[in-house]
Chains A and B, each alone.
Chain A
Amino acid sequence: MSDDIKTYSTLSRRGFLKTSVAGAVAASAPMFFVKNAHAFTNEPKGSTVTFGFNVPQTGPYAEEGADELRAYELAVKHINGEGDGGMLNTMKPVSLKGDGVNGKKVIFVTGDTQTKSPAARASAKRMIERDGAIMITGGSSSGVAVAVQSLCHEQGVIFMAGLTHAVDTTGKDRRRYGFRHFFNTEMSGAALAPILESEFGNQRLAYHLTADYNWGWSQEGSIKKHTEALGWQTRAAVRTPLKEVDFSQYITPVLNSGADVLVLNHYGKNMVDSLTQSVQFGLRDKQVNGQDFQIVVPLFSRLMARGAGDSIKGIYGSTNWNWSLQDKGSEAFVKSFGSEYGFPPSQAAHTCYVQALLYADACQRAGTFHPCDVIAALEGHQFDGMGNGPVEYRAEDHQCFKDVLVVKGKEASSSEFDLLEVVEVTPRAKVEYPTTMQDANYVGDLGSCRRV
């Protein structure tokens, strides 16, 4: 220690160097704990296998998240052979036998995405690094889905996307380890456009309010593309923050814009707020350009319809699945969900339940949990009896292709759950797009599966 600054300075640079050397010695100790090379990440060793359910428990999509979690718990029960088996009885082909997966009992851990990408990645990381999850699934936002999907790809863990509707998830941000059962904005646009034309004509001036993140942008782009092809014009497209609860400042300009259709590219609580407020502002009672003013909600769900109350009557939108469907798979799922929780499931619950079953079934078919083999079992897999008719997991982009429902808010509903009526089931052929679409959002690289 030098003398002249003795009073204040204490730890000299040399002292620091010595300290660092001592530290480096100490540092070598915990290096033993660096993950030793497994055959693959989180290979299940005991009699159980852990699934990670990453859903929003707080934030604007919390209600969807709660329903997703219910569906997952039900799926785990059915896979383990508890309860009435639900869709395991209707799913075709099926290799699950109701005794777990590959002889192991399924257990699960949960995390809160908060509908924020960093929080979602943190909870996914916890489930992978600490809890040893073999697969991550869930989520109710495309921003989160894209962020978690790329994390899972990096970690070598399969991600079965929950409710995510932007093209990006299986478009420009597709990953080898990520799979999506839900439909996307491109399909919504393709399915909605003919109905919009027959109901509202082709001389319309549209005004968009769009949630300002990748899903909103994707939805806006698709509706614009498909309606402009009909001859509609787009007056303006205004972006709104995801956290917004008061949309009055966005709705007032709509009244004076001369537009006669309002497209709400909103989901969850956003949509409940913006739709209710639009109706309160009297938009639907107006006449513009000699036509009745109309509102369109491209992505509809029963949970939102319930939140928006009377405002949804007569409003058109699209949806992935509705509990009122009469096929065997839907009936089996609605029955076991209803007897467990006392009310029918939402489309978010449906897609999550199906994803969990599809993953488990793929592991069973592959006879292993090795992600590369499971990916191979899922790619190009064709199945039926899960509520959407025949479905295919397209190998090129890991997107499921199936029929899409166009729905309308019911004018006279018989119960608080009976809110949507199916106007049309648009067949798969009409909403399918080629893998060679030359649009920046549709072109992506899956990357490869890594065998160690």
Chain B
Amino acid sequence: MEAINPSSGRKDNLTMIAFTVVVLTAPLWGKLIGADYPDLLQRFAIFGLFAIGFNLLFGLTGYLSFGHAAFLGIGSYTAAWSFKLLSMNPIPAVIFALLLSGLFAAVIGYVSLKRTGIYFAILTLAFAQMSYNLAYSVLTPITNGETGLRVLRDDPRIIDTALGVEIQGPLLGSFFGIEMTGYSGFYFCAVMLIAGFYVALRVFRSPFGMKLAAIKSNQTRMEYTGYNPKPYLLAIFIISGMYAGLAGALMVIVDPLAGAERMQWTVSGEVVLMTILGGVGTLVGPLLGAAIIKYFENIFSAINESVLLATFDFLPEGLQEFMVTIVHPFVGGGWHLTLGILFMSVIIFMPGGIMEGIRHLTDWIRRRKE
């Protein structure tokens, strides 16, 4: 496992600096790919965090959870309720979302981790679907069902009322007066992402991470050397769940609305795709995967016929229409198709995800230099 290898402190410092710079300058390089608007950048950061957390469990221990959407949803609802009951400040929302998603992860993890492999995946999936259906049916007083949980003007907001904080304009998350929307919302998510990345890096390099890798390679052997794998598994499951909870809370912080579809199994599936697409068990891979999928969802899906016609405007008329006919099924509503093709080719040609591709590329360049 390359990722687990102890490496020099300097190299990690460099990684951290490079990562921080890349994340914080996203609005600059986002321009190159038409992604320089806050909503998409927020999504990059939030789903990046979600995928990093998922990868801590799946990448390190090999336990494939198919129910991480449940923690995302729990984080969202907790943050929304914190907005409604306590304050529009994102700090309590983040804290409570972390606590509650951690608690749920402990319960779900305790039960699910009694099994491994496909049985574990099915158990987590079952829990997530259960949460999803509960949110739609008996829990509607808490979740507001299909309509989604919104923050309203006449909510109590105890802390805000006590401190005399009055929200004048629209009801948005407010970090000591800074509205959590647009680029300020993105920077809040970015700081969380950097912190989350740092924690993940520490886990990867720690003795704890080493034990997780041991669980992945051979659990029985680990037991023979005198370690009980269960506490480590549960601990990383909880950490991973808290990442998802944090991501869910951030969604509400930048856009105060929580809906049950965040708990649907497709969301759990999406994070699995992100991780595999980017590279399982690598630090940066899941982030890349998350960014690619969100980019496709938001940019490719928005390309309609008139945009295509404008793009192929330089061609003669017949050829222009021909190109539009060819390309049209792959963009707009057909963005899933393009993503599917990309996903299949990555899995077939680079089973290690995009990170493997990048490694091949750098190796090749190095060999050429020699």
Contacts and interface: CB of A to CB of B under 8 A. Distances in A.
Contacts of B251: 118
Contacts of A185: none
Given A26-B24, A213-B147, A8 B182 contact: no
Contact of B182 (A30, A35, A111): A35
A126 B36 CA distance: 10
Contacts of B150: 147, 150
A265 B274 CA distance: 39
Interface in A1-49: 1, 7-12, 15-16, 18-20, 22-23, 26-27, 29-31, 33-35
Interface-centre pick from A1, A16, A112 (highest chain B CB count, 10 A): A16
Contact of A122 (B36, B39, B182, B202): B39
Interface of A: 1, 7-12, 15-16, 18-20, 22-23, 26-27, 29-31, 33-35, 57-58, 109-112, 116-118, 121-123, 125-126, 129-131, 143, 146-147, 150-151, 153-154, 212-214, 241-242, 445, 447, 450
A123 B43 CA distance: 12
Contacts of B358: none
Interface residues of B, number: 60
B198 A16 contact: yes
B26 interface: yes
B276 interface: no
B202 A9 contact: yes
Contact of A213 (B16, B145, B198, B201): B145
Classify the secondary structure of B's interface with A: helix
A153 B170 contact: yes
A130 B148 contact: no
A147 B150 CA distance: 9
Contacts of B16: 11, 15-16, 19
B21 A30 contact: no
Contacts, number: 150
A121 B147 contact: no
A27 B24 contact: yes
Nearest to A121: B255
B106 interface: no
Given A10-B205, A11-B201, A23-B21, A112 B333 contact: yes
Contacts of A153: 170
B11 interface: yes
A11 B170 contact: no
A411 B192 CA distance: 63
Contact of A57 (B40, B43, B333): B333
A109 B302 contact: yes
A22 B13 CA distance: 11
B17 A33 contact: no
Given A22-B17, A109-B302, 17 more contacts: A8-B205, A10-B6, A11-B9, A15-B9, A15-B16, A20-B20, A30-B25, A30-B26, A33-B27, A57-B333, A112-B301, A121-B255, A130-B37, A130-B39, A130-B40, A242-B146, A450-B169
A372 to B, nearest CB: 15
B187 to A, nearest CB: 7
Contacts of B9: 1, 10-12, 15
Contacts of A130: 34, 36-37, 39-40
A22 B21 contact: yes
B189 to A, nearest CB: 13
A122 B298 contact: yes
A447 B16 CA distance: 45
Nearest to B145: A212
Contact of A30 (B12, B24, B255, B304): B24
Interface of B: 6-9, 11-13, 16-17, 20-21, 24-28, 34, 36-40, 43, 136, 140, 145-148, 150, 153, 169-172, 181-184, 187, 194, 198, 201-202, 205-207, 209-210, 251, 255, 257, 259, 261-262, 298, 301-302, 304, 333
Given A7-B6, A11-B202, A445-B153, A19 B20 contact: yes
A147 B26 contact: no
Contacts of B39: 122, 125-126, 129-130
Contacts of B145: 212-213
A10 B7 contact: yes
20 contacts: A1-B9, A7-B6, A10-B9, A10-B13, A11-B201, A15-B9, A19-B17, A27-B24, A30-B27, A30-B28, A33-B27, A33-B28, A57-B333, A118-B262, A126-B298, A154-B169, A154-B170, A154-B172, A213-B147, A447-B170
Contacts of B205: 8-11
A268 to B, nearest CB: 14
B21 A110 contact: no
Contacts of A11: 9, 12-13, 16, 198, 201-202, 205
A10 B27 contact: no
B291 to A, nearest CB: 15
Nearest to A69: B304
Contacts of A146: 147
Given A10-B7, A29-B25, A129 B20 contact: no
Contacts of A116: 259, 261
B12 to A, nearest CB: 4
